[in-house]
Structure 1
């Protein structure tokens, strides 16, 4: 695993982790990480992909990762919000897909990253060979608008960058409800106690995001589930949805199936759904992660079908 720094379209530095395959790459797998985490948490999964011949890249989202901690911007977003994150994703992938014959591009998004990946599929889906959505969720309906309104009030009272414990409770407060007796407040993440404890002890994970961040998160979720984005997703783009059957972000599978139904109804021809029984939100870090890694890699191989 190597780390490089790219320059974003607004001049900011973007840190990108890179996992090289043993030989010539079959293509590029771009991983888009979730909120309150960072790219190095995907090392095991990325090494599995690289062993299969893929060049794997994962950029740090603005407001996350070591650079954000060092600059005091942890849990904050730039002025352009999630639109800047999408532009950063383009900066990263364009760096690795240069020349007259760019490598096939597989886009993998987890959690918040899955919503960003869905937005990118609407923007540049004709360039993407396959889309993998891990731990995604469906529309929350009016709840999203109410949450956006509350976040906007918080922004007006305390500013964009002030941590919002209220929005944190409203967004994640019920996620542990299905896991009793709860060992920690993050039991909903994984059945692997060591992974949960590591998350709790990590200052790059266990923090409260700003009111502006939560507002942008809810706007992103609403946008990713909108009719316009669904219709802009190319019919020929294969989509694989992989989630835990007990994941509260996916409403215990209901939200995942909702996304799949709406994609199919909008014309996307191949939409596959895999739900793991008792699996929680971070299936890439759950007790059966080896199986999950293998099955996602197999789906990508079968779907893209690229050999060196």
Structure 2
């Protein structure tokens, strides 16, 4: 495993991780991670893919992990007018970089929020991915999306665009105090995620 930095089109420094312990690579997997986590959490998956012939690469999104530039900045995205499309642009650039660098089939693995990024990437006419895999994706009713949009708008007007979205605490009695348990049945992994200094409690 090695780390490197890629420079986005607007100058943002994207902190990336490469797993390339592969003798005869047959392809590349681009990881697009979920909200409030970072690509380092996919180490076991990446090692498994290495064992099966795939190089694995991924970045920490803007406002996430090491790209945020320090624990105090995690969950903060500065003056980004459209964070979603900024990340889409970053991931498209990474996809093209991987395709050109390795000249191997590149497969996208997008999880949760990363799956939504992947869905948008699929709309590109010049897509150079050989295939995609999306996990933890969703399709919400319009009414639920409307409530979420309204809460986000109100929160921004009251607390500012970069303030943590603490209103999510209102839903803890519904989701359960240990929301990370929906990700895995492995209690050890839940504990590791909860204690991870590079994840955002609120975003």
Work out whether the TM-score is over 0.5: yes
Q: Alignment partner for residue 187 of structure 2, among 181, 184, 193?
A: 193
- Residues in 1 aligned to 2:71 and 2:190: alpha-carbon distance in whole angstroms: 26
Deviation at 1:16, TM superposition (A): 1.0
Tell me: CA distance 1:170–1:137, structure 2 relative to 1, closer, same or farther (3 Å): farther
- Residues in 2 aligned to 1:36 and 1:126: alpha-carbon distance in whole angstroms: 27
2:150 aligns with 149
Q: 1:1-308, aligned counterparts within 5 Å?
A: 1-68=1-68, 70=70, 72-77=72-77, 78-98=80-100, 102-123=103-124, 126-166=127-167, 168-169=168-169, 174-176=174-176, 184-205=178-199, 207-209=201-203
- Residues in 2 aligned to 1:103 and 1:17: alpha-carbon distance in whole angstroms: 18
- Residues in 1 aligned to 2:20 and 2:187: alpha-carbon distance in whole angstroms: 30
Structure 1: gaps (5+ residues):
177-181, 210-308
Deviation at 1:37, TM superposition (A): 0.8
Please give the secondary structure, in 2, of the residue aligned with 1:98: helix
Tell me: CA distance 1:105–1:185, structure 2 relative to 1, closer, same or farther (3 Å): closer
Q: Which one has a bigger Cα radius of gyration?
A: 1
Please give the secondary structure, in 2, of the residue aligned with 1:76: coil
- Residues in 2 aligned to 1:111 and 1:185: alpha-carbon distance in whole angstroms: 14
Q: What whole-Å deviation, never above 9, does each CA across 1:93-142 have from its counterpart, x for those lacking one?
A: 2222217x932121100111111111111125742211101111113321
Please give the secondary structure, in 2, of the residue aligned with 1:31: strand
Structure 2: gaps (5+ residues):
none
Deviation at 1:70, TM superposition (A): 1.0
- Residues in 2 aligned to 1:75 and 1:111: alpha-carbon distance in whole angstroms: 17
Please give the secondary structure, in 2, of the residue aligned with 1:187: helix
- Residues in 2 aligned to 1:170 and 1:140: alpha-carbon distance in whole angstroms: 20
